[in-house]
Chain A
Amino acid sequence: MKLRISCKEAVDYINKQEEKKLGIWQRIQLWNHLFICILCKRFAIQNKMLIKLFRTTNDTSTPEFSKEEKIKMIDVIVTTED
């Protein structure tokens, strides 16, 4: 079994690691890769940060239903009969 993995494989491992889907050998491969590859290390750090922001940032510019749209919507609802 090879210890060295490519950057493409490393990114794949980083994603799987998020869901704890790596075996012990794969974890060693990834750990080894991140130790020697600054680009993937950077990717891993930024990935964590982006996920966190993705989850916690709320859209401040959410569009709203206009008054007319609401009236129309109510109309559609009440005229739906099963």
Chain B
Amino acid sequence: MSDKKHAHLASEWVNAYSSQLLGFAISRVKDEHLAKDLVQETFVSAWKNIEQYNGEASVKTWLTTILKNKIIDHYRKASTRLTDSLGHSDATQDIFFDEADHWSKAERPQDFSINPNNSLEKKEFYAILLSCRKKLKAIQDAVFSLKYLDGMDSETICKELNISASNYWVLIHRAKVQLRGCIEKKWVTQ
């Protein structure tokens, strides 16, 4: 291929797929700058390995697969720093339950609901969800994304992130309690 044709293909890719890939990345890593870097890296990897593209899947699917792997690599880096933080109990987490492991007075789940058929409510909910997700630790959010956005089961997630099953359940537990509490507070007081 001549250089000119090369450039043509590259711009075709960027124009056709960059915004979809960015949307995919940003819902999983939250940070805009990082998401853009991951998309850029995806294109570069794809470019280097273009002969591996067999034409069976669509280009979009192929690029998305590469991006997925980049995101998991990124998560894995975050997970290597995790094991130390899980060992001892986390002071910010212990506020949710008392000594008897029942809900602490201040954190008792309050009643709230969101009507999924109301698009305005859904939009508001999403904004709150985003800001609450930002308060999660990177690794908690990683597990959340893989579990609920990518539909992975716990075994696969543990393998991908190199964490033990018990660490996984602690992560999910803390992320859920924290996220629910945050959403409740913002939803009720808005």
Contact = CB atoms under 8 A, between A and B. Distances in A.
Contact of A54 (B14, B110, B148): B148
B18 A60 contact: no
Interface range for B: 35 or more
A51 B176 CA distance: 10
A60 B27 CA distance: 11
Contacts of B130: 59
A53 to B, nearest CB: 6
A67 B19 CA distance: 12
A51 B173 CA distance: 14
Given A7-B97, A43-B109, A53 B169 contact: no
A28 interface: no
Interface residues of A, number: 41
A42 B125 contact: no
B186 interface: no
Contact of B122 (A53, A55, A74): A53
A39 B96 CA distance: 12
A80 B13 CA distance: 15
B88 interface: no
Given A39-B109, A57-B122, A74 B7 contact: yes
Contacts of A32: none
A80 B125 CA distance: 42
A53 B172 CA distance: 17
Interface of A: 6-9, 11-12, 15-16, 19, 21, 39-40, 42-43, 46-47, 49-60, 62-65, 69-70, 73-74, 76-78, 80, 82
15 contacts: A6-B102, A11-B173, A15-B172, A19-B154, A49-B114, A52-B116, A54-B149, A59-B130, A65-B19, A73-B14, A73-B43, A74-B11, A77-B13, A78-B3, A80-B47
Interface of B: 3, 6-7, 10-11, 13-15, 18-19, 22-23, 26-27, 32, 36, 39-40, 43-44, 47-48, 97, 100-103, 108-114, 116, 122-123, 125-126, 129-130, 144, 148-149, 153-154, 169, 172-173, 176-177, 179-180, 183-184
